[in-house]
Structure 1
């Protein structure tokens, strides 16, 4: 069966997450329903990462196995037609080898988290970021984030329901910048690692927000990390500000 890689963008607001669920809407379910309009016996699709309810993506990657030998462009066009009106789009499609896997072939995942800093309620895209009513000290947050770079036991920043076999992960990058967004000043967090624990990004951002607001000194992030205790973590940030922006592979299947 020909295998295809799909680059997927979605607004996670109306979904209970990526993963298929029998009684709730999911991104996986929306894509599989569209695939079933093209071929009735398409097997389950697999994704690079399972985003939670309310989490968005601009660069999620999944793969599907088809019975027909589809032209990748025609397949993406057909899927986008049948995905309407769900807020899901296939941005790119590529033929890949039969042993290529969206999850297991991946070398890294990249996430973006957006915080809007303003007192007035947001009227546009309110579920596309986390809104706080105070400015944030970017330099202090960078100092706190520096303690998280490298290989660590991230038990403190791991959900109690996380199913990963080990809490040890390597954080390759945490970049924090202030930008002027359409609705006002935003702080963007860009995190990169081979893989992440459940709720790890949201736990890290919620903790760094405490640093940026002056509630925590930067060194307390190091203390929390070394505690290896979920109770030492700061608050978990809401899902609406989180985006899976890209997945890295030895060879980019969508290049060219």
Structure 2
């Protein structure tokens, strides 16, 4: 069920369900926790699942000033501390993957396992199609406005304000870079669709740079793999979140990424 939590003075909407080890799901940019509707029941059968809505998204109000993934990561740290749930399994999708990664880098003590779905670490990891979408503001607005207006406590008239903030962040980020992943102490799963907005060789390089990284490419899917093939995505998530021990290594993922780049 959903309820508001006081997170450093910000009433943050959070859907919570299930019992067991905590899992925190971070939705994509411009959407809401409802985007996890196919994952929450499956994960809640095994875990205590929390799906918050970030500032300016869904039922959580906006806060004056610009927004960055670093700021949203600080909000996520505060949320985990408010829940007294750490360390958690942290799962981020799209812009939520950037927030999840920054959270894990800033506070690795709060993250048990990390899942990054459809998110890169630099703009050169994006496909040309993904970069083009960010310039088609009319299309983006048509996609996101109907999800914002019915739920926002700031009212439908506030959409242009948050939309401008999102565009600025999405066009400037992610700017984390591959080398940062080498500092991650926890197991990391990098997942994407085979027709996603991230280049597969970029995701392979991410998984290969993380000391304990894995790569999952979901066939026949785009940037919305968790919605397009939820049963398969859920099986991959559950397998990763419940496994014990490091992943076996026959061919280093870094070598795979290099081969992919050479044949791109």
Q: TM-score, normalised by structure 2?
A: 0.26
Greater helix share, structure number: 2
Question: Higher RCO, 1 or 2 (CA under 8 Å, sep at least 6)?
Answer: 1
Q: TM-score, normalised by structure 1?
A: 0.27
Q: Which has the larger radius of gyration?
A: 1
